[in-house]
Structure 1
């Protein structure tokens, strides 16, 4: 509990980066308190709105995203706590600071149970409310960042994303130009290309060059999430929405607020969910599963696919209206076989990165190795090249082909290497195919098909 002496102290809280970007809603029926909070917060925040009752507050929340609500507990006819409980039941997870002139320990405990992030006792000093706001925003940002980091375990560190758009070919120079152009706008981007062409890396680079680079980048592999739970994963759900929903939960759209949501393998979305995603893009609102309330969102959407969406539309497997909504700005990543000059810089980058990660000395990439690499079609693209470098580091040498062997046998059997790798990851996941698909970065359907081919 935070308490203070008065509301006129002019001392300032330390500058906070989240405060400067925050959109804050003040709900208090005292005009003097509303004016004080607006004067205090407006010069330090991106936006402040102030209203005197929950009806006006509800209308604002229906059409705008707010990072924080400062809520008075006594609001002429009902309590702020009762309204807060209603918001939480509707699936609105905005941070809330409860303020009141009448408080006891029971009220403070009830506020925390209802979902308030902090509890401030009137009268309070300027610095105290600013510190409470900064703490609340910082905790929310840290929670989102921790969630994103847990999802990103095993992926490229954020600082590597831009440097990994590697290549000296004209095609990659054009890709870097397109990324820079798209990054300057909030427009939806569709990234296309074969598997292994670094679509997620391109999406990360786009995010990092954007004005909201310090906001979350949330990647989602649509093919790795079971169809029966993907709606809840994306939009969240309220308590009791379905069997097993013992509590309310934020969705991935919530965690990406202010940043970028990257929907990889977008073609794997079930048709029913495609319709709901289309509405989200058009209305900029999401409806948690089991809720009657639509919640405004503020983020950039980037989608990716290794399939031809136009063909999927013609076959009735993808909605035409969603396709046109996604295809605002397209970035197509060419396969590695069409840009042979990029093989050497990629190979050398992978050698440096992987040798450092494994704690092994880098291997020299001799001209004979490069010649073989440049003659190979790389059906798995840059991902396959990376795997080849890692395998060579583990073995301590690049495999040398038998000079008398036919040309098609002079390269490792990709299918066998792929099979061993997938089965090894599946075993490490205790046979859980959904988890193995997530670790492999492929859809559950792809993994099921591979296992069926191998009778595994």
Structure 2
């Protein structure tokens, strides 16, 4: 039995985006309870399925993704708890609310041990079950968001990525158009370009402009994960799947459900893993390591590489069938040397961003500096330009013109670089050492000690 979304004036459901987008499976052998839950949830959710036994529920889980399962504990032939234990053993991590008319402390403890997210006693009112559903959906969303934030630490800042595709050159105008067109679809996208051409920013812009922008964006550097654990990282694993698997764990595909999984440096993926990824793309299912169950996924894949994948295919280093599966929509990113007119807006954007991050006043970018920038080939592309701006901010100067490359004053004396940076931050803070220490991310005591070593002026905030 299936019902779809409809209108509702219930304030309990209003304003919760996860409830409105939720796909929920109800498993209960009582027709009256199934009908009650359908009437309660269907007007408020994207999709609700209701079945009377675990066999029918299992068949649905083989083909569809659900955000939440509402499971009766007393079912014909077996308990809901025993079926839940089987699901967890097979690597299905969907949250489950257990409902039962016969509850005691032992049952509640067993439910938690089996992996239930919540426990509701029959008979219950509409508000009770809605509150339990909203709690579970919100907790799951928070868990995914926290996981993604931890993985994003040290990568691209969480600003509007589309605003960081900077430039007026014909190449960048075309890039923005391609991003906007591809964002409206669920098609797989392959982003190509040299190192430092903003491939991750482009992937984030794709996600931000898509209809599922409120879902997770999960970045994965395929070259940074050891070959022997990458399958577990992507697909998850069940307890006991290998020696160190003391508990089951979700994979990155699970955390990206409904959103975007960004596979950077896809050319570095080991050949055995390429075959498994191909099957995932074809079947839209993943199999956790050690599990016999395949779990449906709803994930948009975006891959990126600075390698020539066609040449890798010809050399037998990359699967041709995977290459063609990934290369549905291609977004090629031009190197900076081929779009000289974009150097100035990029440099000014980096100056504005970095001066805020470093707590330093921005440096003026003179026309002579821009001329040197435009004459330089930038082998590291926009990333190298950003590093040059950061170095100039720390040193307080772009330096004198050199033979071609932008010439900052350089020194191998790290202590001198540190001194210049700290004194510039102190000056930008009007001599207030407490504020300077906050901007630098060090203790006031450390800053006082450094200033004493350099015979700096006494603190202005005493």
Same fold (TM over 0.5): yes
Cα contact 2:71–2:80 (8 A) shared by 1: yes
Rg larger for: 2
Distance apart, 1:302 and its partner CA: 0.2
Q: Does 1:84 align with 2:79?
A: no
User: What is the distance in 1 between the residues matched to 2:258 and 2:288?
Assistant: 18
Cα contact 1:11–1:127 (8 A) shared by 2: no
C-alpha RMSD over aligned residues = 1.7
**Equivalent pairs, count:** 404
User: What is the distance in 2 between the residues matched to 1:243 and 1:93?
Assistant: 21
Distance apart, 1:412 and its partner CA: 6.5
- Report the equivalent of 2:38: 38
Output aligned runs, 1:427-442, within 5 Å.
none
Cα contact 2:195–2:381 (8 A) shared by 1: yes
Cα contact 2:197–2:334 (8 A) shared by 1: yes
CA displacement 1:315-365 (0-9 Å, x = unmatched): 000000000000000000000000000000000000000000000000000
TM-score (norm 2): 0.85
User: What is the distance in 1 between the residues matched to 2:405 and 2:42?
Assistant: 69
Distance apart, 1:154 and its partner CA: 1.8
CA displacement 1:70-108 (0-9 Å, x = unmatched): 000000111100000100000000010000011011111
Distance apart, 1:127 and its partner CA: 1.1
Cα contact 2:376–2:404 (8 A) shared by 1: no
- Report the equivalent of 1:171: 171
- Report the equivalent of 1:323: 323
Distance apart, 1:158 and its partner CA: 2.8
Distance apart, 1:12 and its partner CA: 5.0
- Consecutive unaligned residues in structure 1, runs of 5 or more: 1-9, 417-456
Distance apart, 1:240 and its partner CA: 0.5
Distance apart, 1:413 and its partner CA: 11
Which protein has greater RCO, CA pairs closer than 8 Å, 6+ apart? Answer: 1
User: What is the distance in 2 between the residues matched to 1:230 and 1:342?
Assistant: 37
Output aligned runs, 1:42-53, within 5 Å.
42-53=42-53
Q: Does 1:370 align with 2:370?
A: yes
User: What is the distance in 2 between the residues matched to 1:394 and 1:273?
Assistant: 43
Distance apart, 1:11 and its partner CA: 6.2
Where 1:158 maps in the other structure, the secondary structure is: coil
- Consecutive unaligned residues in structure 2, runs of 5 or more: 1-8, 413-462
Q: Does 1:199 align with 2:199?
A: yes
User: What is the distance in 2 between the residues matched to 1:60 and 1:14?
Assistant: 26
Cα contact 1:11–1:126 (8 A) shared by 2: no
- Report the equivalent of 1:305: 305
CA displacement 1:373-404 (0-9 Å, x = unmatched): 000000000000000000000001112135xx
Output aligned runs, 1:105-184, within 5 Å.
105-184=105-184
Change (3 A) 1:328 1:409: closer
- Report the equivalent of 2:23: 23
CA displacement 1:125-161 (0-9 Å, x = unmatched): 1111111101100000000000000000122333331
User: What is the distance in 2 between the residues matched to 1:39 and 1:326?
Assistant: 42
- Report the equivalent of 1:454: none
- Report the equivalent of 1:396: 396
- Report the equivalent of 1:343: 343
- Report the equivalent of 1:251: 251
User: What is the distance in 2 between the residues matched to 1:91 and 1:386?
Assistant: 43
User: What is the distance in 2 between the residues matched to 1:100 and 1:235?
Assistant: 32
Where 1:163 maps in the other structure, the secondary structure is: helix
- Report the equivalent of 2:12: 13
CA displacement 1:403-448 (0-9 Å, x = unmatched): xxxx35764699x9xxxxxxxxxxxxxxxxxxxxxxxxxxxxxxxx
